[in-house]
């Protein structure tokens, strides 16, 4: 009886010490942010040439291809005389950086307008 009581007391002290502490809380991954990039004809656009013959067109297409391969582009297309893509980025600075070296933007063949996009339906782009 004494040994059962002693064992119970010892277990009462040892079990809390032996149990692992609560696991550290993990920071939640930052929410995805999306930005709409609208490309319009810039001051260096040559009205005498079709889009695929404009200065920097090949490099611009290569940049969009790279962003698709990196799974940064959610959707893209043309409407009227403009082009638009929705890009995933940590913040606006990162989104702008994806187009800073885009030849058509850098050479002012296109102007770039960038705005944050806040989808309210999850299926709207996923």
Query: pLDDT digits over 111-124, tens only?
Result: 999 999 998 876 65
- Residue at 37 is within a domain: yes
Long-range contacts formed by 96-99: CB under 8 A, 24+ apart:
98/63, 98/67, 98/72, 99/37, 99/63
Q: Which domain holds residue 117?
A: 33-124
- Residue at 88 is within a domain: yes
Output the pTM of the full model. Answer: 0.71
Q: How far from 10 is each of 2, 7, 18, 86, CA to CA, in Å?
A: 12, 5, 12, 63
- Residue at 16 is within a domain: no
Q: What is d(CA 63, CA 66) in angstroms, rounded to the nearest whole number?
A: 5
Please report, rounded to a whole number, the percentage of residues in the chain having pLDDT higher than 90: 64
85 close to 98: Cβ distance less than 8 angstroms: no
- Residue at 6 is within a domain: no
- Residue at 111 is within a domain: yes
Mean pLDDT, rounded, for 45-50: 96
Mean pLDDT, rounded, for 15-27: 54
How many domains is the chain partitioned into structurally? 1
- Residue at 80 is within a domain: yes
Phi-psi domain of 56 (left: phi exceeds 0; alpha: psi -120 through 50; beta: other): left
Q: What is d(CA 63, CA 39) in angstroms, rounded to the nearest whole number?
A: 14
Q: How far from 92 is each of 19, 54, 62, 96, CA to CA, in Å?
A: 45, 27, 22, 6
CATH number at residue 64: 3.30.70.1060
Q: What is d(CA 1, CA 3) in angstroms, rounded to the nearest whole number?
A: 5
- Residue at 19 is within a domain: no
């Amino acid at each position: 009886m004494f040994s059962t009581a002693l064992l119970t007391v010892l277990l009462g002290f040892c079990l809390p010490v032996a149990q692992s502490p609560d696991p550290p809380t993990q920071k939640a991954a930052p929410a995805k942010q999306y930005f709409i990039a609208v490309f319009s004809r810039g001051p260096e656009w040559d009205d005498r040439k079709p889009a695929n013959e404009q200065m920097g067109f090949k490099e611009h297409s290569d940049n969009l291809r790279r962003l698709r391969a990196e799974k940064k582009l959610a959707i893209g297309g043309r409407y009227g005389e403009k082009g638009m893509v929705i890009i995933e980025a940590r913040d606006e600075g990162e989104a702008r950086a994806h187009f800073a070296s885009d030849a058509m933007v850098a050479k002012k063949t296109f102007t770039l307008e960038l705005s944050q996009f806040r989808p309210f339906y999850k299926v709207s782009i996923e």
